[in-house]
Amino acid sequence: MLPRFHIGIDQVPLSTGLVFGLPDGASRHIQVLRLQPGALVQLFDGRGHEWQATVTEMGRKVVTVAIGEPLHHNRELPVQVTLAIGMPANDRMDALVEKAAELGVFAIQPLICERSVLRLDGERAAKKVAHWQAVAISACEQCGRATVPKVLEVRSLSSWLHMQTHDTGASESPSVHRGVLSLREAATLSTWIDACSPVVGRRTASPVVGYVFLSGPEGGLSPAEEQAALASGWSAISLGPRVLRADTAPLAALSVIGSAYEL
């Protein structure tokens, strides 16, 4: 795979034939790789569009490229999966965002729950979200995705559930399936997926079909939080007899979805 760089539409609107100087980070990367004029790279805008580009000039600080024809590599899951996560502490959230992006997540909703160790608000929360968004971009540069998953603003679980319940478009859409990752007696994830979308339906799946998984922080969701979700129409889902860490459970669910729809 050629070196890949994300150029956000807020930085430069990419299009065939455009000649421009790359941002500092991408320029430094190309210089470290010791690429020369004529070398090929790939650029993507994070919204599903990707182009091949040719290095035309190696400046002291800025590398200039010329954009060629668009590329058409579809590396997205055929369904949209949102992970609503009670944020794990320390660096575990960084790793979770990175791996979720590699596995094809559509969006990540960081949540503050009753048992959350990591509690963010205000400017500190905004900085963390920007950091996690950068982690998602880096993961997409590495794995070949042209669409960068969105890391949403931090919310409390109660306010987010209220928003989900009162969002008419979301709550009434029959194509969005919502599951709570639970330790209680519940349907296994694979059984639930098959009930939501039988194998024959998966063959014609489109991005309109979606899954949202709610997963707790260290210590899990409290009984009251889980019951609130179930009372709002969510389904309890089991990932098996083992107790998974807060940063493992949502990735396991995402992996099962990928296996069900792609493998």
Count the helix, strand and coil residues of the chain and give each as a percent rounded to the nearest 5: 35, 25, 40
Q: How far apart are CA 79 and CA 210, in angstroms?
A: 5
Cβ atoms < 10 Å from Cβ of 258: 17
SS3 of 194, please?
A: helix
* Domains by residue range for the chain, with CATH: 4-71 (2.40.240.20), 80-262 (3.40.1280.10)
- Site of tokens 């070949």: 144
Between vectors from CA 154 to CA 123 and to CA 257, what angle results, nearest 5°?
145
Model pLDDT, residue 170: 47
Are 63 and 55 a contacting pair, CB within 8 Å? yes
Model pLDDT, residue 198: 73
| Ranges under pLDDT 50 in the chain | 168, 170-172
Strands (E), 7-134: 19-21, 40-44, 50-58, 63-71, 80-86, 107-112
Model pLDDT, residue 172: 47
- The number of angstroms, rounded, from the C-alpha of 258 to the middle of its chain's C-alpha atoms is 13
Q: How far apart are CA 136 and CA 242, in angstroms?
A: 28
Model pLDDT, residue 18: 97
| Dihedral sign of CA atoms 97, 98, 102, 103 in order | negative
Model pLDDT, residue 1: 83
Q: How far apart are CA 42 and CA 190, in angstroms?
A: 37
Model pLDDT, residue 230: 95
Model pLDDT, residue 262: 87
Are 214 and 234 a contacting pair, CB within 8 Å? yes
> Could you tell me the pTM of the whole model?
0.91
Q: Phi and psi at residue 121, in whole multiples of 5°? A: -155, 170
Are 73 and 50 a contacting pair, CB within 8 Å? yes
Are 59 and 36 a contacting pair, CB within 8 Å? no
Q: Which of 2, 147, 17, 11 is nearest to 69 (CA)?
A: 17
Model pLDDT, residue 196: 86
Per-residue pLDDT tens over the stretch 218-261:
999 999 999 999 999 999 999 999 999 999 999 999 999 999 99
